[in-house]
A and B are shown apart, each in its own frame.
Chain A
């Protein structure tokens, strides 16, 4: 979803090239490395490697300062190499560059030449690897270092019958396994590189500062005389593949195999080893394979529930994704941070195969990933496990998706050096881990799930709980910790005035809709949840029509407005707080306003609408304040569905996402609703219908809220908001809404007359006069006069009331705006039909356009998303300018006005 955001990388899923270079050099015997650049690079890489491997990691630095960047860093680099030799006495030194050295154009090959000229006696082999941080990731760096090593070492071409094994970044434990495997075939091998000892050393009485393990140079020099090279990497570019180089330069036969993770890849390696060694597959290996196969069968019955996210280096992602797919675990997201165009195509067949088996339609494979993207897809495709480095821990913490840490770097667990996944044995260990994560999830929650499904206790609703679910375990979502004890009011004590109350409120009774006026006071700007159909900056499109409260009032101003309106509209009976955010997220303001108005007019009916999150906390205060009508928007009564609707919920200082968020919100909504209904409040429940998300679930919602005491539900259409997650979901048609209302009407009374009012609406439901009160009395005259000096009037074709999103000819309503003093101000709505005097005659297209012309004839400009050429010409002929755009209304009106002025 964020693919277009190419400029901001949020939480990277990759590291820089020098990291890979240094790691590869750690697999060479008696080797140290030095980074040519500022010392931070060495320090950072040491810190990251040491934490993962739990071993000393020593990388020297040429410690370039500003002086060096100006005059060149040769002196520093040579001094650095000299000191390194003096203190560590290595046989090989990997000399790698950094962003800094590459940017100032340091030629390290030349500097190395100068070093040898200065020290002709030196026998230390210096191997240069250009590796600016911007030239690629650690994945490329690793193979570039290996390529640098084979190309810089003098080769002995004498045939020696050895076999070259070249690998990517394996864990030391996996490397040891690979070596044992080669020995089992009695293969005389040269392993490049060999990380097994240097990054996983034991504890001995004496510590040697120069790592003793790794492949010696003299072995590497024999690679040119080997009989074959097996390179274990799926995606390494051939332009720097050591195997390819040895093949082209010295004629060593060369095959490329995938990392031997999972059954098929390991089979391929075993076959190749058998062939190259001329030996049958040893029994021990056959037994290992048999055990893995047995394990695959044992665990298959649990694996189909797995929806995995695999992320990391391309070869790792490829290998682990294939392991998942051959075990029937659906890899819903496979992502690498590195540029790797081939990943998607190469994995396509494997992923499709398991998707077909499990009837899973949505999944994705992509490169150049960052964790922001991985996170959004993980949620969208309902992943239940992640496999990769510990960098996924933030997603794990936030959403409770368990993370299996088996790739570099692992920073929050111990044992990064001993990760196992190679071969039948390693594959089995990884598979067991994956299956056990799925089982843990199941064991942790399924009894409760069954209980709720089949064994609901009678008084369950009275034990509604709110609070924080355990962040680690999403299965515990329903077991919410903090219990609010809600005293139950007995039936007979309830005042039997529900019907009376409903009758005087326009929103709660159709008959009163035309008799009683209401005022919505826009005093509540903040919101505490984030809905996917909403963009916060445009206010709440559900509780109010989007973006169209002209100003937010302070409580005192709200009282003034009430007094003013009451004077003009004597049938004003209802005061409502409907946003533009959430009334209870701004409780202090809400409270103050209600107290002020109550003091002025004790006969007023108070109502407010809320998302319900804070209801349990404020419910009793609402009663005390005399609120008699409450509207709660409840779009789902299942956290799974809720998770798709709510992006996040901020509750008591914690931000929840996903199912946790939905669960917290839901329990509070239900607890609050029950509490208020029990105490005789008229409770309306608004349900926003979202096609494909909750449209099948609405009846459930209605039944549930009825059981809790709601007296009416209002099933409504979603208003699409640009920039929101649901911007492009198809709309539910009016017909479908009516059908839903009818269907749900069996259970509970429905509201058929909803107008989805503005947050600052005033008057009768079908006659909003709020604009007359948009400004304080003293300024009103000048502002209201449409013929004001610089006022320009515009007709805006809009469906949503927020965006210019309607074709001129299709508009049934025009939003009339005025531009004055640098501001665009909403004036009124004009229905095209009302302006047409002879409705019966208006069937023809031509007449319709005529009708529109009449509707907007006093405007100087028209804004629409598109307009036919002939109406456009007509408008221009009439002196009305036409602006075709798709934008927020206020903004577009301002821009249009600028053009006219």
Chain B
């Protein structure tokens, strides 16, 4: 029996049928995986909800927005500073990242409606905090009791002379946090992008889908600025409403996390003609490739020269460190289970360090994140995906601009994969295991069988791995470390993994009285 069969064996026939489609062993040829469909109840999924994707992931990092959670207290509390998306504030930009605003709905509000309370909460937010913009995110009960948060938002917008946006991101919508990313993206397109008028400089880009966890975005920005790029906005990590307004003036959208933000990239292409490029700033080789692709896009001799100069300089600076860590990590194996893009991105970095990925999966990825964008037309729409609003956008003539000639565009599509993402599976070795929506039970079983040296995941599955004797590193919050992106990030990452694998603790797991026979020649102590 293969490892996959062994794991599936424990399931009831119904669950077996369902889960089998989500798990595959990489072989040559096209392989289809089930993804972005309903979770099996009761199997301890690691997925979050729509609110988590919308409020927790995409909107929370926008530093100058005051995000009010409209609902009972729990959801607001649980998304209060838990994702380590960092932001800098300055003289002109307020930051509300350390704040949690909630309407704290009580039983009476559920019965009689919470609109009045929300109106008042907005008023108080304006009076006390005077934010650049206000964002309202609803939780489960709001959609059910019928509070019209959109009407309240537009009313408040007039009243207080600033943008007030509402997001109906009730937790039950969609099948994971992915639906929330889409809803948030729709709102940003509808209300924010295109409303600013900053004048771009040469080589103007946006960084989309970079969340600045542990300072990743800062490392990326540092490199891009050294080369001479004008970063119009970072959406959303360390981003601000004021900057995002002008996103449409950029020449190119860089898409770091395809899963969460491709909506914005695609809609901006329609509306403003902005081309997008999938990049990956995790890993040394992939950072270099991304930088070179960007230079090809702009096709400017000075920029290209500068790009090469910076790459050489940055690589020289980290060579010694990376060389040392490689000797420690070469041949080690890894399993990856993270969101919707990191499980792919980090494989590149692991490769740089001589490590192999033997299992990988996404929590909420779609089929295109596994198999590449070419499968998008074949993805079946189901009831759940239809429940997430998909908006139609049109060309905005006065703000539409095309940077590339048609020929060049077609050429770059081939050459640098412009507006394309090939997905994770193609780049994995034959025999490795790919699991969508890995749950607690499967995690434990696969770790037991595949015995990777490190399991990269999140806090919820971290302790399962560790109790079973496998090193865990968190790729959501980086265990309070970071940044891991770019050149310097690679060194941080290599250091953290080395430190984990070589910690003295693992050497003490087996107690001496268990390995040394006692006088009677028996092993005592028993299992606990």
Contact = CB atoms under 8 A, between A and B. Distances in A.
A528 B92 CA distance: 10
B74 A16 contact: yes
Interface string B8-42: 00111001000000000000000000000011111
A231 B176 CA distance: 41
A201 to B, nearest CB: 7
B160 interface: no
A63 B440 CA distance: 15
B162 to A, nearest CB: 13
Contact of A57 (B15, B90, B102, B460): B460
B76 interface: yes
B141 A134 contact: yes
B74 A15 contact: yes
Contacts of A203: 466-467, 509
Interface in B452-479: 458-464, 466-469
B72 A134 contact: yes
A60 interface: yes
Contacts of A51: 459
A57 B461 CA distance: 9
Given A40-B49, A47-B78, A47-B460, A80 B42 contact: yes
B45 interface: yes
A65 B444 contact: no
A10 interface: yes
B29 to A, nearest CB: 33
A79 B40 contact: yes
A63 B39 contact: yes
Nearest to A46: B460
A41 B171 contact: yes
B78 A48 contact: yes
B271 interface: no
B47 interface: yes
Given A66-B173, A99-B140, A87 B441 contact: yes
Nearest to B105: A134
A80 B90 CA distance: 49
B233 to A, nearest CB: 19
A511 interface: no
Contacts of A98: 140
B77 A204 contact: no
B516 interface: no
Contacts of B176: 39
B115 to A, nearest CB: 11
Interface string B156-197: 000000000000001111111100000000000000000000
A69 B514 CA distance: 53
Interface residues of B, number: 93
A61 B245 CA distance: 38
Contacts of A204: 467, 527-528
B207 to A, nearest CB: 22
Contact of B101 (A8, A104, A206): A8
Interface in A5-38: 5-12, 14-19, 34, 37-38
B103 interface: yes
Contact of A50 (B47, B141, B463, B509): B463
B327 interface: no
B49 A54 contact: no
Nearest to B175: A65
B502 interface: no
Nearest to B103: A7
Interface string B247-264: 000000000000000000
Nearest to A585: B91
Interface string B489-521: 000000000000000000001100010000000
A50 B81 CA distance: 16
A394 interface: yes
A135 to B, nearest CB: 6
A51 B105 CA distance: 26
A10 B100 contact: yes
B41 A80 contact: yes
A168 interface: no
B42 A84 contact: yes
A9 B124 CA distance: 10
Contacts of A99: 71-72, 74, 110, 139-141
Contacts of A48: 78, 82
Contacts of B509: 203, 205
Given A60-B43, A653-B91, A100 B74 contact: no
Given A9-B103, A103-B145, A86 B440 contact: no
Interface string A182-217: 000000000000000000011111110100100000
Nearest to A87: B441
Contacts of B510: 205
A16 B77 contact: yes
B121 interface: yes
B144 A82 contact: no
A7 B124 contact: yes
Given A56-B463, A133-B73, A77 B104 contact: no
Interface string A101-142: 011100000000000000000000000000011110100000
Interface string B101-122: 1111111011000000110110
Nearest to B68: A8
A47 B80 CA distance: 12
B241 interface: no
A650 interface: yes
A655 interface: yes
Nearest to B47: A39
A69 B49 CA distance: 14
Nearest to A60: B42
B418 interface: no
Contacts of A497: none
Given A12-B80, A51-B459, A653-B90, 16 more contacts: A8-B121, A10-B128, A12-B77, A14-B77, A18-B74, A39-B49, A40-B75, A43-B52, A44-B52, A56-B440, A79-B41, A86-B15, A87-B44, A203-B466, A207-B467, A209-B444
Interface of A: 5-12, 14-19, 34, 37-41, 43-48, 50-51, 54-69, 76-77, 79-84, 86-88, 98-100, 102-104, 132-135, 137, 201-207, 209, 212, 391, 394, 411-412, 528, 537, 650, 653, 655
8 contacts: A38-B49, A44-B74, A60-B43, A66-B172, A66-B173, A80-B42, A83-B42, A133-B74
